[in-house]
Amino acid sequence: MKKPVIGISGSIIIDGSGNFPGYRRSYVNEDYVKSVIKNGGIPYIIPMNSSEEVVREQIQNVDGLILSGGHDVTPRFYNQEPHKNLGGILPERDVFDFNLVKFAIEKNIPILGICRGFQILNVYFGGTLYQDINLKEKTFIKHNQVNFPYLTTHSVDIIENTKLKELFNEESIMVNSFHHQIIDKVAEEFVTSAISKDGVVEAIENPNYKYMLGVQWHPEMLHSTEEKMNLLFSELINSTY
Ligand SMILES: [Mn+2]
């Protein structure tokens, strides 16, 4: 039987030096590719582009979708002015990601959102973000550990009666953390499935869809050091059948 094809949303990296300064390259971080292969899927990078028609066709060629990490989501997509602490944005990628989600839902294929991808899912369905974690009162955990992608640094509590709980079957798990933005209002279609000790929403899922789960951390970077993180990818792949 043919193995499921998992599309990974691509971004653009701009050369800072070398022979072509300013040159744009389509790319994803290799850990996404490795995580898909390790869990029985066939990875394909979906290159960022601005054509709705092309994105529709790109989705026709995959059985599941990973929304990868990256830039801050442009705040005007959740009706806010840019706050002074907003990080780097790439509005053309927001549009691309929203098109991916739209056509993936239309095709009814499973979706895993990671970091920015988790935030994209929330915003697509009408939720909002804090443009910077310091805008939320009483947060105290270091949510940007800066280094060591393969190490976990803070815990998250898993909420009962969720897909995440079903998968991990634990009260609490350790995650890595590389974000300065966090979810504010969770979109109505979603439920919160994990929360940090300082009240930050760390995972959401859509209970009315076969598999639509988003995590604020980076499970792909933990695929070889935290065996359990592979459950997020294996379930994505299993949900394609
Ligand atoms: Mn965190």
Residue 222 Cα to ligand 1 midpoint, Å, equals 14
pLDDT at position 73, please?
98
* Count of domains observed in the chain: 1
Of 98, 118, 119, 101, nearest to 109 by C-alpha is 101
CA of 221 to the centre of ligand 1 (A): 14
pLDDT at 15 over 90: no
Q: How far is the CA of 83 from the centre of ligand 1 (A)?
A: 20
CB atoms within 10 A of CB 237: 22
C-alpha to C-alpha distance for 74 and 59, rounded to whole angstroms? 23
Task: Please give the share of the chain, as a percent, with pLDDT higher than 70.
Answer: 100
Residues 40-64 pLDDT 10s: 999 999 999 999 999 999 999 999 9
Interval between CA 216 and ligand 1 midpoint (Å)? 6
Q: Tokens 């098109």 — which residue?
A: 99
| Strand-pair category, 111-114 with 64-67 | parallel
**Domain boundaries, position 63:** 3-237
CATH of the domain at 159: 3.40.50.880
Average pLDDT, integer, range 196-219: 98
17 Cβ neighbours under 8 A, 6+ residues apart: none
- The answer to whether the Cα torsion of 161, 8, 74, 151 is positive or negative is positive
Taking 90 as the threshold, does the pLDDT of residue 16 lie above it?
A: no
Other C-beta atoms within 10 Å of 214: how many? 26
State in Å: Cα 93 to ligand 1 middle: 23
What is the pLDDT, as a whole number, of residue 201? Answer: 98
Report DSSP letters for 69-128, one per residue: --SBPPGGGGT-PPPTT---B-HHHHHHHHHHHHHHHHHT--EEEETHHHHHHHHHTT--
Residues annotated as part of the active site: 115, 218, 220
Paired tokens of 241: 């059948």
Does position 17 have pLDDT exceeding 90, yes or no? no
Could you tell me the distance, in angstroms and rounded to a whole number, from the CA of residue 215 to the centre of ligand 1? 9
The CA 18 to ligand 1 mean position distance, Å, reads 34
